[in-house]
A = this chain, B = another copy of it.
Amino acid sequence: MIRVEAVGKTFMQRDGAGYTALEDIDFEIGKGEFVSILGPSGCGKSTLLNVVAGLERADSGRVEANGKEVAQPGPDRIVVFQDHALYPWLTVLENVAFGLKQKGIKKKERRERAMEQIRAVHLGKFADRYPHELSGGMKQRVAIARALVMDPEILLMDEPFAALDEQTRLLLHKELEQIWLNTRKTILFITHNIREAVTLSDRVLVMSTRPGRIKKEFRVRATRPREPGDSVLHHIESQIMDTLAAELEKVAKEEYGNDYTLEKSPLSHSAASNLGDGI
């Protein structure tokens, strides 16, 4: 269970000015819920996740995880990072067992528990490889195994599949869903892929940018396991796209300056027609 109350965060920029990354964020994630956060690049998704993980401190507001206030990172809230963050000097097995080692668990038990998780992500044969010998998808699986072996109540995932190709991503979606269905962890999942968010989550929070706020919330009421052809998903996807359109435009305008006018924007056009479709 995660409770985020009126959280705000301002970064000091190099020029000395403050940059409000998060402002007045309020939400709650129930136990065993799978919630995604969507938003344009730079809107503060990672910052929010880091605050929940305890890796960064909020300037205002409070964050509670499992009823306790979050003050520092802990093994009850494990983050799966976008670029896996496996230790290159450790083998797959050692990487997965790293957290257990810190808990002081004996070598033999450590090994057993780690192998169990490694097998669960179909990498039994690769336990003695080093990360660089694995493909991107396999590394991400190891990262998930490393998180699961800690048996945390909360999994925080920061664009875990962004660096992967489409096919691998599809495979991992299915696996993640399966794992979640089996273990019923509370998962906070960050992505900027609308389809991914819709396919995986119970609820999707859409963030707005500058400052980062929660703009809208969507509940995905589709059957599990999710199927790509499900029209409920397509419908919600269109709705989210619509919500995001204005934000995307804001980002695009910042990037291209006045070269990029609203009239010409192909996105608002598509979003509008999309909306009609959705209805």
Q: Which chain A residues have a beta carbon within 8 Å of chain B's beta carbons?
A: 40-41, 119, 122-125, 135, 137-138, 162, 165-168, 170-171, 174-175, 177-178, 192-195, 225, 227-230, 234, 238, 241, 244, 248, 251-252, 255-260, 266-267, 269-270, 273-274, 276-278
Contact = CB atoms under 8 A, between A and B. Distances in A.
A229 B273 contact: yes
A240 to B, nearest CB: 11
Given A166-B194, A266-B171, A270-B174, A229 B259 contact: no
A183 to B, nearest CB: 16
A175 to B, nearest CB: 7
Contact of A167 (B41, B177, B278): B41
A255 B135 contact: yes
Nearest to A38: B166
A37 B168 CA distance: 18
20 contacts: A41-B165, A41-B168, A122-B259, A123-B256, A124-B259, A125-B256, A135-B255, A137-B255, A138-B256, A166-B192, A166-B193, A166-B194, A170-B270, A171-B252, A175-B266, A195-B195, A227-B277, A228-B238, A229-B234, A229-B273
Contacts of A119: 259
Contacts of A255: 135, 137-138
Contacts of A278: 229
B234 A174 contact: no
A142 to B, nearest CB: 12
A195 B237 CA distance: 14
A251 B178 CA distance: 20
Contact of A267 (B171, B194, B241, B277): B171
B274 A228 contact: yes
Contact of A274 (B193, B229, B244, B269): B229
Contact of A123 (B123, B258, B259, B269): B259
A155 B204 CA distance: 39
A83 to B, nearest CB: 14
A79 to B, nearest CB: 20
Nearest to A274: B229
Contact of A227 (B123, B260, B273): B273
A16 to B, nearest CB: 22
Nearest to A244: B167
Contact of A192 (B41, B165, B251): B165
Contacts of A276: 229
